[in-house]
């Protein structure tokens, strides 16, 4: 079997996770190029994985024959064009979430990959994280009966980069942080979202003088699914206490909880006035380390065996649409049906 040669578009934090996984853990693939307009970052990444061609320009890189697939981890607003370009060059595409800024951009990406005959996979790594996989297996197997209520949350520490604060450049926190939740609830419930209602607040951002009409750092979203399941998604960023991602699914027969605030298999008790302390998950690369490895293995498998991607462009599009609907909801203070936004 020939190894799949991968060009990494983006040498930031997510790019590094994929780079290291491709270099160390994923059999059948290896990173051969790093493309980033920040040459120093690109070179540092190339060095860390034991060497790879460095490009500062995507056009040049795409026209080379150094890679068969790309992993796109640049800001959301670049995803559409890089994907279209890669597809035109016959290169398979692994694109980080959020897929793009609008459903119609997502559609363009899907069409381009179909036309180019290349695989398109979206980076919803939770679908590959062992406890999520096991949960899906149990729900689909009917263990908890029919899903009735699903609640998913993601909270992360640290300041998002500037473009992610700008709702017009990124769709804001619900896109940057909660895209995973929107995808996950659809996948776990096995039904599409019918309508959403969102409330948001600007708590820490306000103090920093950002535009309070366009920015939010807390959100709570109510979901109604096509099969009558109800749900909530909530997000907060920055949440100083760590990285927290949990899902709770109530079915007609029982309850299933994925994840735990207590993130590590160690417990320390120092003081009876404090209590028993268990370390939390600190970062998303640590929380979802296995998911990131397995999604990349799955992508390489799809390419080498010419089988459909495990997470498709349609999945990516639906998550983008749900975010758009949620933003419309809080801006217009009304529930928004998904049908309203699917072709925006």
Q: Within positions 306 to 335, which residues make up the interface with its own copies, using CB under 8 A?
A: 333-335
Count Cβ atoms within 10 A of the Cβ of residue 212 and give its class: 0-12 exposed, 13-18 middle, 19 or more buried: exposed
Upper half-sphere CA count for residue 63 (Cβ side, 13 Å):
3
Cα(83)–Cα(309) distance, integer angstroms: 15
Q: Which of 66, 88, 210, 230 binds its own copies (CB under 8 A)?
A: 230
Q: Does 115 bind its own copies (CB under 8 A)?
A: no
CA gap 292, 180 in Å, rounded: 13
Which one among 244, 302, 320, 341 touches its own copies, defined by CB under 8 A? 244
Minimum distance from residue 74 beta carbon to its own copies (Å): 27
In angstroms, the CA 297 to CA 299 distance is 5
Total number of residues that touch its own copies (CB under 8 A)? 78
Contact 167, 175 (CB under 8 A): no
300 CB contacts (<8 Å, ≥6 apart)? 4, 26, 28, 29
Q: Is 142 in the site for its own copies (CB under 8 A)?
A: no
- Considering the complex, state which of residue 44 and residue 246 has its C-beta at the smaller distance from its own copies: 246
Tell me: does residue 141 bind its own copies (CB under 8 A): no
The yes or no reply on residue 174 touching its own copies (CB under 8 A) is no
Q: CB 44 → its own copies: shortest distance, Å?
A: 18
CB of 273 to its own copies, least distance (A): 8
Long-range residue pairs from 260-266, CB within 8 A, at least 24 positions apart, any chain: 263/287
The two structure tokens encoding residue 186: 């659809």
User: Shortest gap between Cβ of 56 and its own copies (angstroms)?
Assistant: 27
Residue 2 found at the interface with its own copies (CB under 8 A)? no
CA end-to-end span of the chain = 42
In the set 241, 308, 339, 340, which binds its own copies (CB under 8 A)?
241
Q: Does 214 bind its own copies (CB under 8 A)?
A: no
> What does R_g of the chain's alpha carbons equal in angstroms?
20
- Pick the stretch among 40-48, 65-73, 134-142, 308-316 that binds its own copies (CB under 8 A): 134-142
Burial of 40 (0-12, 13-18, 19+ CB in 10 A): exposed
Q: Give residues 34-93 in contact with its own copies (rule: CB under 8 A).
A: 50
Nearer to its own copies, 219 or 320 (CB): 219
Q: Which of 89, 159, 280, 310 binds its own copies (CB under 8 A)?
A: 280
């Amino acid at each position: 079997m020939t190894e799949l040669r991968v060009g990494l578009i983006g040498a930031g934090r997510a790019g590094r996770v994929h780079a290291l996984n491709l270099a160390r853990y994923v059999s059948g693939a290896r990173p051969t190029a790093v493309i980033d307009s920040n040459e120093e970052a690109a070179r540092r990444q190339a060095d860390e994985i034991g060497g790879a061609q460095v490009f500062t320009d995507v056009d040049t890189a795409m026209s080379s024959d150094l890679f068969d697939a790309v992993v796109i981890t640049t800001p959301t607003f670049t995803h559409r064009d890089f994907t279209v370009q890669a597809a035109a060059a016959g290169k398979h595409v692994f694109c980080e979430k959020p897929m793009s800024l609008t459903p119609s951009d997502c559609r363009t990406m899907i069409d381009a990959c179909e036309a180019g005959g290349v695989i398109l996979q979206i980076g919803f790594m939770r679908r590959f994280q062992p406890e999520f996989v096991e949960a899906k297996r149990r729900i689909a197997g009917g263990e908890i009966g029919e899903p009735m209520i699903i609640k998913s949350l993601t909270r992360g520490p640290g300041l998002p980069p500037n473009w992610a604060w700008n709702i017009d450049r990124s769709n804001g926190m619900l896109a940057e942080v909660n895209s995973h939740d929107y995808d996950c609830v659809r996948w776990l419930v096995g039904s599409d979202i019918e309508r959403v209602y969102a409330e948001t607040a600007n708590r820490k951002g306000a103090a920093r003088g950002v535009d309070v009409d366009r920015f939010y750092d807390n959100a709570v979203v109510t979901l109604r699914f096509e099969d009558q399941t109800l749900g909530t998604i909530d997000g907060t960023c920055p949440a100083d206490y760590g990285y927290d991602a949990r899902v709770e699914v109530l079915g007609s027969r029982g309850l299933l909880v994925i994840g735990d605030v207590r993130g590590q298999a160690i417990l320390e008790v120092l003081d009876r006035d404090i209590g028993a302390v268990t370390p939390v998950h600190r970062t998303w690369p640590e929380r979802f380390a296995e998911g990131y490895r397995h999604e990349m293995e799955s992508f390489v498998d799809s390419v080498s065996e010419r089988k459909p991607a495990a997470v498709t462009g349609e999945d990516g599009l639906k998550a983008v649409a749900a975010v758009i609907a949620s933003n419309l909801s809080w801006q217009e203070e009304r529930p928004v049906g998904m049908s309203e936004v699917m072709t925006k």
